[in-house]
Structure 1
């Protein structure tokens, strides 16, 4: 597929270690031959795994992907705290963790599972008075971020090992969580709960919403074949589907409301529904409000780069 033929869709990237998410977007802009490229949720440079990238019209779906559930494989080191809560930061404190038992680790993990209040890592992209938190910390400043509600629906231990002559303990885990959950903060809080400190030494994102690492391609593979998940297929995987009549498709295209789709609200919020014309083309996203369905967004027909 050459750049002149690139359509709209999603690319599921297996981000390599050492690359920023912005680096990946820049690379795909060159491969796809378009500036209209974005991603659905940053991965730290240390992390690897699933990064969902939108091309052309599909960039408009990214805001809905950002809010989906994420799954990670991670290793947490107990006995050391770092300034960044991960292995890229300077060690700020070290405590012998030899006496921490497996049972104590399991109990602390259980306490961090479910609906919790989490203080984000200070080295995050959250803005404080217009400045990124990480920028303030790296400049030597202090940041006190408020706790926020997150959901850790799965926090499963796969292995616990002794490292550095038994002074440290490494814990291999799977975490499934809501958008906005910081795995670095879970590592920090697990260590704090056990009184020995903790940080993240490895992180791999294995799923974002319906997209898994099995579907992801390396940048080297994408240089050979862009492996685009076409816009229509991407929307069908992400949302409930409504097949429109020709008249309904015309109404939605011109901003008019139609009969409700009938999908129940999730957490009190209307559920976005992918609306398709009789020819199978995605018209836009709908949401029920009262006794009608209204367009959340409408895709212009024809021009792939619109």
Structure 2
């Protein structure tokens, strides 16, 4: 089985738990996800099966969307509701208007310090593993991009711990819990992320995701009976954002073995190609590989395409 499943991860499971569930359910070994979702969070988890695991790194960089709940006046060790409370303040003077006014400050390119509970590695160890051992290390700020940050609703205004709901679109590497903490600091009352739902990863939307119960039924009863024919998606769909280069039939074997593709083997080129761009190489019968665009050393007015990930 080769392809991608858009999974609706439930809260309370790690991303690895979901991968293990799918591995056992379909009885296949090669399974992986394209980006960790916190155990307490829910939402889209893109899971690759079989040969599609080779393409996971190209999906990891896609923009993501989240719906986050921010509780003001309470600061925790982890930045979410699962950590210990380390500070409490009365945020009853906070207003919805003040929260709305703060959001443009955190839109665009912003600097974030990764939390200790992240999956980033330090000397081969994940930060959250060090945090569980009671360790804390210095982390360097990272620049990320918040493309859109919108106020959705709020409740509990004039109470000590009001709650706001925001929706955001952001780049790879954005830590939503850190964003919530930073908004609370900016407003002078502190805050933590009390819940999170990931609503989109690249072309994969939550409306099209499948629960673990759906997946179990699919595996047991078969896709025909339960009309789940679209559950396992071809990897090509996840790579539609890459420009397509059409390969002639005569060059398919060479590309499939990882050889460079020169212009004589190209049937059609997209407009606007530049050096260093990733493209998808499409044969007459479908996707062959992801390749990097380089200049031909023998003629720098022409391109050559070096496969970086063969998918057949």
TM-score (normalizing by structure 2): 0.87
Which of 239, 249, 258 in structure 1 is aligned with 2:242? 239
Which residue does the alignment assign to 1:199? 192
Q: Deviations over 1:152-211 (max 9, x none)?
A: 001100112217x70012110001100000000001101111111110111000000011
Q: Secondary structure at 1:225's aligned position in 2?
A: helix
Which residue does the alignment assign to 2:152? 158
Q: Is residue 125 of structure 2 the alignment partner of residue 131 of structure 1?
A: yes
Q: Is residue 54 of structure 2 the alignment partner of residue 60 of structure 1?
A: yes
Which residue does the alignment assign to 1:275? 281
Q: Deviations over 1:213-260 (max 9, x none)?
A: 11100000001115211234444x353323221123233224033228
Which residue does the alignment assign to 2:234? 230
Contact 2:275/2:294, CA 8 A, preserved across alignment = no
Which residue does the alignment assign to 1:3? none
Which of 246, 249, 252 in structure 1 is aligned with 2:252? 249
Which of 155, 178, 181 in structure 1 is aligned with 2:174? 181
Q: Is residue 205 of structure 2 the alignment partner of residue 212 of structure 1?
A: yes
Which residue does the alignment assign to 2:222? none
Q: Secondary structure at 1:146's aligned position in 2?
A: coil
Q: Distance in 2 between matches of 1:270 and 1:225?
A: 41
Which residue does the alignment assign to 2:74? 80
Q: Distance in 2 between matches of 1:251 and 1:66?
A: 28
Q: Distance in 2 between matches of 1:143 and 1:175?
A: 29
Q: Distance in 1 between matches of 2:282 and 2:107?
A: 39
Q: Is residue 106 of structure 2 the alignment partner of residue 112 of structure 1?
A: yes
Contact 1:252/1:258, CA 8 A, preserved across alignment = no
Q: Secondary structure at 1:26's aligned position in 2?
A: helix
Q: Distance in 2 between matches of 1:186 and 1:231?
A: 32
Which of 285, 288, 291 in structure 2 is aligned with 1:286? 291
Contact 1:264/1:270, CA 8 A, preserved across alignment = no
Q: Deviations over 1:48-83 (max 9, x none)?
A: 010000000000111011100000011011101000
Q: Distance in 1 between matches of 2:82 and 2:193?
A: 9
Which of 85, 90, 101 in structure 2 is aligned with 1:91? 85
CA gap of 1:156–1:244, structure 2 versus 1, over 3 A, is: same
Number of corresponding residues: 289
Which residue does the alignment assign to 1:43? 37
CA gap of 1:50–1:144, structure 2 versus 1, over 3 A, is: same
Q: Distance in 2 between matches of 1:264 and 1:16?
A: 42
Contact 2:54/2:311, CA 8 A, preserved across alignment = no
Say what the alpha-carbon RMSD is for the aligned residues: 1.9
Which residue does the alignment assign to 1:297? 309
Q: Distance in 2 between matches of 1:172 and 1:184?
A: 13
Unmatched segments (≥5 aa) in structure 2: 220-230, 296-302
